[in-house]
Amino acid sequence: MPSPTIHPAPVTATPPILTAGSPFTAVELQAMEADGMVRRLVGRAYVPVRARTTAELRARALSAMLTARVRERAVAGRMTAAWILGCAPPPEMPVMLVESTRRLARLGTGERLLVHEVSFGDFDVLEIADLRVTSALRTAVDLAIHSEERIAVPVLRRLLAREGLGLTVGLMVRSLEGLPAQPHKKRARRILERLQS
């Protein structure tokens, strides 16, 4: 009796993140983009044109743009975190958040980034593909506080609708009200009220 044939499980290849110098130059990557071989995902990070865009791929692309020091010390936040979660357009200047107890001046970003000093709670940060990113709840509350209403509302609606994030307006309201007094809190309340209508 012949032995049964064993078929290995298909291996899903992880799409490469291509940046200038590894292994193509910036000009070569732009030519490959013009030829429809790659597409720019964020900043100077490109992926094969058929790569499925996931939170992990976005996080890997952003991570490829950052220095090791930034990856170690900073957390992708606000609209950048919303983009990683698939609910906002790619950021022109990624927003990275740094714990206020760390020395911001020594970060040495090496890239065009917006860096803000903040405080994090115990459940404010998660890891996606080795990049630290604010949680969906922290991201939503930050957007309500720090973004203009016309920009925040559509992104917050997409975050609320995104399956698996577990966000509700009630949860966002409770989180906002648990914060100390700060600028723009009144605007944030107005934005969250608008989401309930």
Task: Give kind and range of the element (H or E) at residue 26.
Answer: helix 26-34
Are 29 and 36 spatial neighbours (Cβ–Cβ below 8 Å)? no
The answer to the question of residue 176 being in a domain is yes
The answer to the question of residue 152 being in a domain is yes
- Smallest Cα–Cα separation from 142: which of 181, 186, 172, 103? 172
Give pLDDT tens digits for 95-109. Answer: 999 998 765 555 554
The answer to the question of residue 175 being in a domain is yes
The domain tally of the chain equals 1
Task: Provide the whole-model pTM.
Answer: 0.88
pLDDT value, residue 159 = 97
The answer to the question of residue 70 being in a domain is no
Residue 19: pLDDT band with limits 50, 70, 90: very high
The answer to the question of residue 67 being in a domain is no
Domain containing 193 equals 135-197
The answer to the question of residue 145 being in a domain is yes
Q: What are phi and psi of 89, to 5 degrees?
A: -70, 165
The answer to the question of residue 23 being in a domain is no
**Mean pLDDT in the chain?**
89
Kindly provide the residue ranges of all beta strands, DSSP E only, lying in the chain, ordered along the sequence.
38-42, 45-48, 74-76, 95-99, 114-118, 125-128, 131-134
Give pLDDT tens digits for 151-163. Answer: 999 999 999 999 9
Tokens of 105: 């001046």
Q: What are phi and psi of 112, to 5 degrees?
A: -80, 100
Query: Alpha helices, DSSP H only, in 85-184?
Result: 136-146, 149-161, 169-177
Are 76 and 132 spatial neighbours (Cβ–Cβ below 8 Å)? yes
CA distances from 29 to 7, 34, 61, 89, 159 (A): 37, 9, 14, 21, 32
The answer to the question of residue 60 being in a domain is no
Share of the chain above pLDDT 90, in %: 73
